[in-house]
Structure 1
């Protein structure tokens, strides 16, 4: 592209989608005298970048009249001859990087970038280097878009293609002619009209959004029925079951069912970041996790959730006589929902997601492990929090075991839990060098509950002998009479607080705790399928060669629910990345379950150095079940996962925070297991920068 600026402008007018504009037209657009129009504009760069004042004017228009792409810089790839030449002469990796860095600002999809990056500079068409299409797309892409109806073209525009694909006629003309043969005789006003169709989107975009969302209701997918498809405007939105309205961006809300009874919703934002994030459930599920969908939607994710195939809380009635519901709940529902989600996204946006992520805690952590082990190609990245992946053993070796330990005289009322918590902290809090109410690694704490045994009778600040025995059983964890561990015990630390032992272990009375509330309905209706089953009758022992009830549970439900397979080879081979976290003070699911599983994966997958290439465990000191507790328990695992999947930045630490009355009062780094955070010895122990991750 040798020549003077005048020739450059002629090439611009001859070759670009709609920049066949004269100085007078630029002057009109800029509403400024020619002298005020920037030199860069006259030299052939993006003529929309005329001045800050013009940008300010454009950016102040209503969203309905001006797209995000418009506010971001209109068609910002009308770069000068110099820039084109530089880009064309660089290796494809650098070319792609420069495109992502902002040379081509029209939100090109990963597919297009990948195509360009795989071609040598010489293969990048001359038409592209001349600047005809502002997204550097190939002629095949232009042809594809040109052959689609206007509504589909608009969808592609909103999904991130070049905003100058304005009509089939223009596309056909441009796609079929090289730059030299594109007529320079188009009238500027005609082209500007077509440009305005694309850049301003005017009312058409708003109506097309609604029409495109509504059209999803007619989408035909195997075994899927779309029950709702409606546009939700930006602003206040109250989701089902929500107490208060929350602020949301504009999105397309789609609800559906998958045979036999799996309900799901997917929310697709108007400004999509090209990623899917599915959120998990808690307890025995039975509801869509609407509350967990709001935050990722606001960050640009298409976000999804399922009720896992039944509608109920934690009463278990839904499972009686319905093994298909049990299977859906155990593993199938999330998988089939994921398949439906991806098909709906492709239909709505015209593109499949560049990345798909799953994030869940507790039952959601179990779902996360299910996906990694049973359906390893569903997701590129997974966040698994406090997972109940050893599901059956957790129910018989923790929920039921702890409920049985807290019977009759052994029952510890909630009023005594603070005394127990104080005794644990007095014995073990300072082991990590800081007395802050947090046990950095409770495995190092060898607290004996007999240290607070009552001397005479009973009292509020001590434990009776039966109560001491109950605490020991809880720390010990479920075991068979032969001494075989069924499920690891709860570790010392984090007994106090609303998410501690008072809720999960004491409750309002024997058989009325959090463990009982989750465990007994499942065992009654899913395992034994008997509404009159008495939990006191559970047999942990084998008698005269007859299987125990633990054996019965393993045979009946283990193949459906248990996700303890250490072989994650298929997930790793597909490029998957997983961040697994667990609160050291979890009084529901023992954190030792996560430690044991991670160590089994290390043994299977080639040791720590190989495992941490795709899978990292972060233990969270002082965090109770999924949230809360004395330690910093607020963090963004999804952002860390996204950085790992997209950019290869494996998390070396993740900053967690703790707040009181809404004000952050402590931060601390979470370290990849087996490392732990150690105070440097100087500076505040409430600030993360004063800690380092070290081997224990």
Structure 2
């Protein structure tokens, strides 16, 4: 009788799990519920192309070397939607020399594309070794729709998939394939992304706390519905002083450099070193009135209105304001806020349309001169399931989950003040020890800046922390613009201070309180 029970238990397990694969190609014949495998092929060691969407994802803009691995591609829940074909396309790369771990690579923008699943640290200036090269199995996805237009917002399920649901579905599928291919489940599961991928990383910890052991969230669009209003606000302020079809003329590159120079004049020395980097940004009580006379009054007033953050007609904040950082003169800041003569501002061509299509119900067009109180109320419903702004992560923290967040202080899309607010509230609601926030002076969105210490490695920080190491208090960083320099990016609320000695040496800095 005992043997019969053992046999039945084994039979039950076999029926509940897919058979193990003898080769990568065998995965092509695997039958999984609501999953179509389209590719299952061994890839020889070689060079993988750069991420073509690195400006959106922070992924590697350079080619990446990869060892031999199994490439699996497929689609989850292929279906006919309200206005076309939908489903969640994914790409999974499983290295021959597996380190036992799994990494989910986040997307960017409104997704709609599959970036190469290589797990590059999502700061465009980072030279850190990508996760695939480290031996991780890496998956990427398109968020539940194909294409970067906004037509998908007409389909209810595609909205839910982009918001959060696709994360769970792809995680389940990827872990099943990993278990089938390696005959082992992952030892640790991480999520890493920047921008919308950073929002997805935070969503992974908030909505799927049992699935992930740690996440890296870069410049996360966690408060996306309100940040979108911030982009709409920017466009309306510039439109007061420049034509909408020539918004780049609101402030010239020379004028923005004038602003950056004034920020440095007032705040650069606060960290102990005059070098064009305002590391002591929390001490910087910048007075924009010092620019009166350097900029025309209308231009300065528009800039101050933008930097103070979106407000309704009663003066109530709709989205938070922005730190004054010399990265304001960087190309990445202009790309989003103002654009150029050749390329319009991304807020104008992406943020404004996305606000109406993604966050308004039903999808609609944002008025050129909106009532911001009404607009804030309009986007709140969708923001309720789209924003990754939960501050009570008790399950994630209790099981030992760790969160490493990095944020460019000069980010023109998602305010550094906003993520600092979330971090303080999450630390109060969940407790200390599960998340660390690293503010990067001069950095714009997912890399870039003027100059910025954007070459860092938060994945190694996360690996060491989840392995039982001490809570990280700093992250070594270099600047592509200053190749000899190295300094720490300090864990919030600390900032880097120069203590003397070789300015290029990490040991010449300490992490100090205000």
Work out whether the TM-score is over 0.5. Answer: yes
Where is the strand percentage greater, Structure 1 or Structure 2? 2
> Structure 2 residue aligned with 1:364, among 172, 197, 215?
197
SS class of match (2:24): helix
Computed over aligned residues only, the root mean square deviation of the Cα atoms, in angstroms, reads 2.6
Greater helix content: 1
1:404 and 2:230 aligned: no
Give 1:265's aligned residue: 91
**Matching residue within 462, 466, 490 for 1:641:** 462
Q: Residue deviations 1:3-28, cap 9 Å, x none?
A: xxxxxxxxxxxxxxxxxxxxxxxxxx
Would you say the 8 A contact 1:264–1:304 is kept in 2?
A: yes
Alignment check: 8 A CA contact 1:441 1:584 kept:
no
Tell me: CA distance 1:532–1:647, structure 2 relative to 1, closer, same or farther (3 Å). Answer: closer
Distance of 1:511 and 1:690 partners within structure 2? 41
| 1:464 match | 296
What is residue 213 of structure 1 aligned with on the other side?
A: 24
Pair 1:317 & 2:154 matched: no
Tell whether 2:377 aligns with 1:551. yes
- Determine if the alignment matches structure 1 residue 593 to structure 2 residue 418: yes
Conservation of the 8 A alpha-carbon contact between 2:225 and 2:355: no
Larger RCO, structures 1/2 (Cα 8 Å, 6+ apart): 2
Aligned residue for 1:627?
447
Which of 185, 204, 207 is equivalent to 1:374? Answer: 207
User: 1:688, CA displacement in angstroms?
Assistant: 1.2
Superposed, 1:496-575 pairs within 5 Å as 496-500=329-333, 502-508=334-340, 512-528=344-360, 533-541=365-373, 548-555=374-381, 557-575=382-400
SS of the equivalent of 2:225 reads helix
Q: 1:244 offset after TM fit, Å?
A: 8.0
What is the SS of the residue equivalent to 2:189? Answer: strand
Deviation at 1:245, TM superposition (A): 6.0
Contact 2:313 2:371 in 1 (8 A): no
Q: How far is 1:642 from its partner?
A: 0.8
Q: Contact (CA 8 Å) 2:359, 2:383: kept in 1 or not?
A: no
> C-alpha offsets along residues 430-458 of structure 1, whole Å, 9 cap, x if unaligned?
1222111111233432333332334xxxx
Partner of 1:393: 226
Distance 1:692 1:370, change over 3 A: same
Structure exhibiting the larger radius of gyration computed from Cα positions: 1
Q: With structure 1 as the length reference, what TM-score do the two structures score?
A: 0.63
Give a deviation string over 1:655-694, Cα, whole Å, max 9, x none: 011123xx722111122211222211x2122321111122
User: What residue number does 2:56 align with?
Assistant: none
Q: Is the 8 A contact 2:355 2:366 kept in 1?
A: no
Q: Structure 1 residues 693, 279: closer, same or farther in 2, change over 3 A?
A: same
How many aligned positions are there?
Answer: 467
Provide structure 1 residue ranges, at least 5 long, that are not aligned to the other structure. Answer: 1-139, 156-207, 455-461, 542-547
State the shift of 1:233 in Å.
0.8
Residues 146-196 of structure 1, C-alpha deviations (whole Å, 9 max, x = no match): xx9xxx99x8xxxxxxxxxxxxxxxxxxxxxxxxxxxxxxxxxxxxxxxxx
Look up the SS of the partner of 1:262 in the other structure: strand
**Matched position secondary structure for 1:329:** helix
Task: Supply the distance in 2 between the matched residues of 1:233 and 1:390 (Cα, whole angstroms).
Answer: 41
C-alpha separation between the residues in 2 aligned to 1:408 and 1:483? Answer: 18
- Cα offset, 1:590, TM superposition: 0.7
Q: Please state how far the C-alpha of 1:382 moved relative to its aligned partner.
A: 0.6
Q: Does residue 1:434 correspond to 2:273, yes or no?
A: yes
Instruction: Pick closer, same or farther for the CA change 1:575–1:481 going to 2, 3 Å.
Output: same
Q: Does residue 656 of structure 1 match 2:477?
A: yes
- Take 1:466 and 1:436, find their aligned partners in 2: how far apart are those partners? 31
What TM-score results when the alignment is normalised by the length of structure 2?
0.85
**In structure 2, do the counterparts of structure 1 residues 399 and 510 end up closer, same or farther at CA, with 3 Å as the change threshold?**
farther
- Alignment of 1:275 with 2:114, yes or no, is no
